[in-house]
Structure formats: C-alpha cells, structure tokens
Amino acid sequence: MPFPHWIALLLLGLGYLLALTHGSLGLLALPSLLALFCSGLLVRRQVRWQQTLGHLLFIVLAIALALHWLPGFHGARVIDKAVLSEGAVPFSMYLNLDKPLIGVWLLLACPWLVMLRGRGLAMSLGLILPLTLLACLGGAWTLGLVAWAPKWPDQAWLWLANNLLLVSLTEELLFRGYIQGGLQRLFKHEGLALLLAALLFGLAHLAGGWQWFYLATLAGVGYGLAYRHGGLAAAVLCHACVNLAHFAVFTYPMLALA
C-alpha cells in the first residue's frame, strides 16, 4: 500500500485501540478487524483468484457489519428515544464503530472509487439534487410517511456529523463507488449498473416497508446519476442533503401513524 494508506491505517488502529480501552470495542471484534485487513491485502494482490476471494470476503463482512451482526462493537447511544417532531416515532442514534469500517476498507483497498469529476459537480447539485429531493421527500409526503415539521433541535449538529461522516460517506462508497462502479466495469453499461445499485440500495431499506424500499430506490437513482456526472463527492453531498432536508424540514424519522 502507499505510505499515506499505512498512516491512515495506523491512525485507525490507534482510534480503535482507544475505543477498546474505553469499552466501546470488545476483544470479540478482533477477528472481524483481522478478517477485514486480510481481505484488503487479498484484493491488492495481482493474482485474480486472490482478488476475487478478497472481494467475496469483504462483501460477507460488509453485510454483517452493516446489520450489526458481528460481536464486540458497542456503539454509544447519543440520542435516546427522542421525539423530534410532533407525531413522530421516537428516534435513537448510535455512534457505531462497525458500519464505518466498510467505508474505511473501501478507501484503503479500492482507491479507484474516489472519482474526481469537478465539471459535473455543479450540475449534480443544481439539477439532480432538487429532482431527487422532490421525488423522495415529495413521495414520502404523498404516501403519508412524513409531514411538514421545520426544526433544529439541540441534537441536530451531532446528527449532522454522524449523517455526513458515518452514514452518507460510507453508504455512497459502498453503493455507488464499489457496487455501481464495479458493475459498470463488469457489464460495460452505465445505466444497468446504476439501476442495479439503486435496487440494492432500496433492498437495504426494505425492513422499513415497501414505501421505504420504493423511496430509497428513487434516491439511489438520484445518487447514482450524481455519481456518474460528479463523482463520489457529488453522490455524498446529494445523499447528505436529502437526509438533512428530511431531518430539518419534515417529520423525522417518520409519522407514528404512518
């Protein structure tokens, strides 16, 4: 790996060592961390079967990390059953230590994910973002999932930092950079890769019901278009802005009677 990547890995190790000493990380998490490190080494090898094995191992670990299935990770609950909007379901938020590892792995093992397309950034934010906002939040309002509820509670800044760094960045690295970019290389078809990645993004939200699957798939299409034209930065900003608009202007996370 390049020297800056070793520095990043060292800082990551120090951070998780600090979490271990404070009880936010248990010894049971060490096998998962070791497996991630090994999969990262495999994908950087020149032998094709080793690369394939590394990617398969990462996909299994990524699913388990995203669903919080792996032991040893104890995220701090920083918002506990707060009712942020009138008529909303209570909302809790954890500063998770497992899911962000997906994004860290992708940045270190697959640096090609970070596409810089500055020329398309303005179009992504000026055209694609408003259309995505209209489709997703307008759709959620039409379906009766949210209502107009402007707010900026005391927990908002903490929520914003978590949303940008631990949610939007990680999810866009995975779904747009890794999945959409990988499928595009595999099928040589931008549109098919975008739609498949959007559907997978929708399936990741299926636990909330068909409405959230539908809305997340629409959002995935918007983020995919932003990624195609403006690169990873555009996709992350679009994702973060849609989430921010939902949080600050509408019922969050959803109406209790929806």
Predicted local distance difference test score (pLDDT) of residue 107: 85
SS3 content of the chain, % helix, strand, coil (to 5): 70, 5, 20
Tell me the C-alpha to C-alpha distance, in Å, between residue 121 and each of 106, 221, 252. 22, 16, 28
Burial of 150 (0-12, 13-18, 19+ CB in 10 A): exposed
Q: Give per-residue pLDDT as tens, 188-230.
A: 999 999 999 999 999 999 999 999 999 999 999 999 999 999 8
Angle in degrees, CA 36, 160, 15, rounded to 5: 35
Rg (alpha carbons) of the chain, rounded to whole number: 19
Predicted local distance difference test score (pLDDT) of residue 110: 85
Predicted local distance difference test score (pLDDT) of residue 165: 87
Query: Is 65 in contact with 99 (CB distance < 8 Å)?
Result: yes
User: Which candidate, 179, 182, 205, 16, places its Cα nearest to that of 104?
Assistant: 16
- The residues, ordered by sequence, that sit 6+ positions from 118 with a Cβ below 8 Å of its Cβ are 230, 231
Burial of 102 (0-12, 13-18, 19+ CB in 10 A): buried
Whether residue 258 has pLDDT greater than 80:
no
CA distance 100 to 87: 31
Burial track 12-29 (b if 16+ CB lie within 10 A, e otherwise)? beeebeebbeeebbeeeb
Query: Is 110 in contact with 55 (CB distance < 8 Å)?
Result: no
CA distance 91 to 83: 6
CA distance 146 to 127: 24
114: three-class secondary structure by DSSP = coil
Burial of 155 (0-12, 13-18, 19+ CB in 10 A): middle
Q: Give per-residue pLDDT as tens, 47-67.
A: 999 999 999 999 999 999 999
Predicted local distance difference test score (pLDDT) of residue 34: 94
Whether residue 5 has pLDDT greater than 80:
no
pTM of the model: 0.92
Predicted local distance difference test score (pLDDT) of residue 115: 59
> What residue type is assigned to position 104 of the chain?
V
